[in-house]
Amino acid sequence: MSNLEAFRAETRAWLEENCPKAMRTPMQGEADFCWGGRKYTFQSEDQKVWLERMAARGWTVPTWPKEYGGGGLTKDEAKILATEMKRLNARVPLVSFGIWMLGPALLKFGTEEQKKEHLPKIARGEIRWCQGYSEPNAGSDLAALATKAVDHGDHYIINGQKIWTSYADKADWIFCLIRTDTTVKHDGISFVLFDMETPGVSTKPIKLISGNSPFCETFFDDVKVLKKNLMGEENKGWTIAKYLLTHERSNIGDMGVPTPLNMLAKDKLGTKDGELSVTMLRHQIAEHEIDAASFMFTLERAKDAAKSGGDQGAFSSLLKGYGTELNKDRHELIVKVNGSDSFEWEGQFSNNGEIARTWLRTKGNSIEGGTTEVQLNIISKRILGLPS
């Protein structure tokens, strides 16, 4: 038996024994995701146990080094773990901006002290992070950010405002872009980490069309941040910011492998001679499924390239741009399949308006992490080599 086959057998047996039955059911919505953090309330004892068991093996972040709370798995082993979890319908034990975004950046740019302090807490789900990038006048043109840090020797005093800070009111720490030099644009930005309980930090939730309030305005009034919390060099934060964005974009673009639409449609609308009875929808769904399958192959190709050490770079813009538009298309079709049932907003039948709320939420996918137009600009310049 090869090493990988032995790893698969051990992993399968461990998952069978350790994944609680309730954690082998599809997540019904946002509430089922485990975000961790100081303020997080577990939805059930099973959810807590599942996180603890997976974290103890480092399998919340399978490829991170063991010394930082990871599983130390190779990319091939991690792929096997993912396949075996899928086989069991095991839920992802922990989701977080720490895992998707900050962790990879810390591994590349953090000091040893920063890695040792922050990575294990991310891996165990003890600290939840939020992202302080956008400002009222700095979204697509992120480098226009104005949140200002004044140098006081061993610390900065920070003043300014962020906006659209997802889950800022639920997060424990923030990774944040600040201006440490006002005379230059990109070269005057630094990347800092600080506790959201630092005096002078406040948040104000923003309510969305979906009825949820997943993000906030975040204010900094004379916030003191020690320089040991500066990541990378002063005024060199833009490089880290961009690197982190490639991870954010790849993650947003990769929507996983959802239930095929034709199955959802057949369940809802019925079939005639084995085919979906509504002809027009049948064509639209077929087209979507072909696009989705092609995209899945592209994602696999990107993952293989990353496995052999390739940098995602601008390719993450392609994944993000296409993946999020595809996801919007998928939810438009789900709404069509479910007809007027889609618009029930509250009540048990619709799981509290899950279809409508998710459909509305997908509109934000093509904005967060950089809009589709911005991704198209990057693709045209950096992949296709077109002039600006």
Ligand X SMILES: Cc1cc2nc3c(=O)[nH]c(=O)nc-3n(C[C@H](O)[C@H](O)[C@H](O)COP(=O)(O)OP(=O)(O)OC[C@H]3O[C@@H](n4cnc5c(N)ncnc54)[C@H](O)[C@@H]3O)c2cc1C
Catalytic residues: 248
Per-residue interface string for the shown chain with ligand X, residues 147-166, x marking contact by CB under 6 A: -----------------xxx
Residue 139 interacts with ligand X (CB under 6 A): yes or no: yes
Q: Which is nearer to ligand X, 94 or 163 (CB)?
A: 163
| The one segment of 74-82, 108-116, 125-133, 288-296 that binds ligand X by CB under 6 A | 125-133
**Complex with ligand X: residue 59 or 167, whichever CB lies closer:** 167
Q: Is 94 in the site for ligand X (CB under 6 A)?
A: no
CB-count exposure of residue 74 (10 Å: 0-12, 13-18, 19+)? middle
Site for ligand X in 195-254 (CB under 6 A): 215
Of the two residues 239 and 380, which places its CB atom closer to ligand X in the complex? 380
- Which region, judged by CB under 6 A, interacts with ligand X, from 18-26, 72-80, 331-339, 365-373? 365-373
Determine the Cα–Cα distance for residues 54 and 364; give it in Å rounded to an integer: 31
Q: Which is nearer to ligand X, 147 or 262 (CB)?
A: 147
Q: Are 177 and 245 in contact (CB under 8 A)?
A: no
Of 70-78, 196-204, 285-293, 366-374, which part binds ligand X (CB under 6 A)? 366-374
Cβ atoms of 253 and 316 closer than 8 Å: yes
- Closest approach of Cβ 237 to ligand X, in Å? 14
CB of 165 to ligand X, least distance (A): 5
Strand partners, 177: 191
Which of these segments, 57-65, 270-278, 307-315, 373-381, binds ligand X (CB under 6 A)?
Answer: 373-381
Number of residues that bind ligand X (CB under 6 A): 20
370 counts as binding ligand X under rule CB under 6 A: yes
Return the number of other C-beta atoms located less than 10 Å from residue 208's C-beta: 15
With respect to ligand X, which residue has the nearer C-beta, 208 or 306?
208
Q: Which is nearer to ligand X, 131 or 317 (CB)?
A: 131
**Smaller CB distance to ligand X: residue 90 or 138?**
138
Residue 75, token pair as written in the block: 């990319």
364 binds ligand X (CB under 6 A): yes
Q: How far is the CB of 106 from ligand X (least distance, A)?
A: 17
- Return the bridge partners of 150, or none: 157
Q: In whole angstroms, what is the distance from residue 66 CA to residue 59 CA?
A: 10
The residue range among 71-79, 130-138, 299-307, 342-350 that interacts with ligand X, by the rule CB under 6 A, is 130-138
Q: Which of 20, 377, 380, 381 forms a contact with ligand X (CB under 6 A)?
A: 377
What contacts 328, CB < 8 A, 6 or more positions away?
362, 363, 365, 366
Among 11, 60, 63, 134, binds ligand X (CB under 6 A): 134
- With CB under 6 A as the contact rule, the residue among 3, 373, 383, 386 that binds ligand X is 373
Please give the residue ranges that form the binding site for ligand X (CB under 6 A): 130-134, 139-140, 164-166, 215, 364, 367-371, 373-374, 377
